[in-house]
């Protein structure tokens, strides 16, 4: 069976929603909140203006109160107007000082959200992009995409070398928990796959959940990365030729594969178990694909010493053991063999 990572604890789950307010509304809300807090301080100072002393003209006007409020909220004051009564000092201590802190937090939070955060995210993204070489791009984090990432991690691949592209924040949150690098966006768009540095990727896995979307992603990926191997999940049999025409190197139909396992189980109770053993990371044996080695040229397929030779891929054609052409390996052949898995 394919190994599964342990479930995440309940306290590690987080629910996220798309912000209900646009950026301009969020900014307007923060400005309004800051003005309301300043208004509270202004009203309190005006009500207790008898407790203030103007060191310039000894007269407290509304302009003086407005000036004193804004200076006190934004700074600690200049000393030209000072609170002298206990009531005024207590008001500044327990009301104006917290308001000052809240106003500064609003200003700093706004500056971070609208300026610093975006700048930092751009710099961080550029730094990550510079390290993306020989990585695996997973377009779509549906059930199949998630299982593919789990299996890659279980086989020892560094999760940071996996770039998951999806539009769902919740799906990307799961990918982050697994240690993968994530990119939120539509994988059918050039700009998104270019941001994932698909041209420098080792391979691409497309698991979009819909055949039409998956084929469009394959078309986009093949245009941007002509030489990168692409594997795609296709659910309908009649869409498999379309996926190949779009540029996919490997087309996998989960229903067909499950049918093969079920059909194989009718011929013997251990056939499906052995096929699963070949695919799973914790199996005793594994399928291995490699180019023919120089000392093996001229030898038959069954004479391999690294494993049991099953098939030769030569000039785009598949040659099974026992077929004409399998009696002598040639330069450029790709071999598929069953090997003993190393522990």
The 10s digit of each residue's pLDDT in 312-340 is 999 888 899 888 989 999 999 999 988 88
Q: What is the pTM of this model?
A: 0.56
Co-location of 247 and 216 in the same domain: yes
For the beta sheet containing 136-139, the strands, ordered from the edge strand earlier in sequence to the opposite edge, are 181-184, 162-166, 136-139, 203-206, 230-233, 250-252
pLDDT band at 259 (very low <50, low <70, confident <90, very high): low
Band (pLDDT 50/70/90 cuts) for residue 291 is: very high
Residues 6+ apart with CB under 8 A from 197: 129, 132, 133, 135, 163
Give the integer Cα–Cα distance in Å for 91 and 20. 36
In a domain, residue 261? The reply is: no
pLDDT category, 59, cuts 50, 70, 90? confident
End-of-domain residue from the set 129, 158, 180: 129
Last residue of a domain, one of 78, 111, 129: 129
pLDDT tens-digit map of 188-226:
999 999 989 999 999 999 999 889 999 999 999 999 999
How confident is the model at residue 31, as a pLDDT? Answer: 80
Specify the higher pLDDT residue, 39 or 277.
Answer: 39
Report the DSSP beta bridge partners of residue 222: none
Please report whether residue 277 resides in a domain.
Answer: no
Query: Domain tally for the chain?
Result: 3
Radius of gyration for the chain, computed over Cα atoms and rounded to the nearest angstrom:
33
Mean pLDDT of the 288-306 span: 90
Note down the domain range covering 238. 133-252
> Do both 199 and 165 map to the same domain?
yes
Domain of 85: which CATH number? 1.10.287.70
Q: Are residues 182 and 218 in the same domain?
A: yes
* Final residue of a structural domain among 110, 129, 148: 129
State residue 11's pLDDT score. Answer: 37
For residues 140 and 245, membership in a common domain is answered with yes
């Amino acid at each position: 069976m394919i190994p599964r990572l342990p479930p995440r604890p309940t306290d590690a789950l987080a629910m996220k929603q798309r912000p209900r307010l646009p950026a301009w509304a969020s900014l307007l809300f923060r400005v309004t909140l800051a003005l309301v807090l300043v208004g509270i301080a202004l009203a309190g100072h005006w009500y207790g203006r008898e407790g203030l002393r103007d060191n310039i003209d000894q007269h407290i006007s509304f302009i003086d109160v407005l000036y004193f409020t804004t200076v006190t909220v934004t700074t600690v004051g200049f000393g030209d107007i000072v609170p002298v009564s206990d009531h005024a000092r207590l008001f500044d201590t327990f009301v104006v000082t917290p308001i000052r802190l809240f106003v500064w937090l609003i200003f700093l939070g706004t500056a971070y959200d609208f300026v610093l955060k975006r700048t930092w995210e751009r710099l961080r993204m550029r730094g990550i992009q510079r390290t993306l070489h020989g990585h695996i791009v997973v377009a779509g984090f549906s059930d199949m995409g998630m299982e593919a990432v789990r299996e890659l991690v279980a086989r020892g691949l560094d999760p940071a070398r996996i770039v998951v592209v999806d539009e769902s924040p919740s799906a990307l949150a799961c990918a982050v928990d697994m240690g993968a690098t994530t990119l939120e966006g539509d994988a059918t768009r050039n700009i998104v796959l270019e941001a994932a540095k698909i041209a420098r990727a080792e391979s691409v896995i497309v698991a979009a959940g819909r055949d039409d979307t998956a084929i469009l992603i394959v078309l986009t990926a093949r245009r941007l990365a002509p030489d990168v191997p692409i594997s795609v999940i296709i659910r309908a049999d009649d869409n498999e030729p379309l996926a190949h025409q779009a540029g996919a190197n490997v087309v996998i139909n989960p229903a067909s594969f499950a049918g093969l396992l079920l059909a194989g189980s009718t011929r013997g109770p251990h056939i499906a178990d052995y096929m699963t053993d070949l695919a799973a990371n914790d199996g005793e044996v594994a399928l291995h694909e490699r180019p023919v080695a120089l000392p093996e040229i001229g030898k038959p397929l069954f004479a391999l010493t690294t494993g049991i030779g099953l098939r030769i891929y030569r000039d785009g054609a598949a040659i099974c053991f026992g077929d004409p052409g399998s009696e002598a390996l040639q330069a450029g052949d790709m071999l598929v063999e069953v090997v003993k898995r190393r522990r």
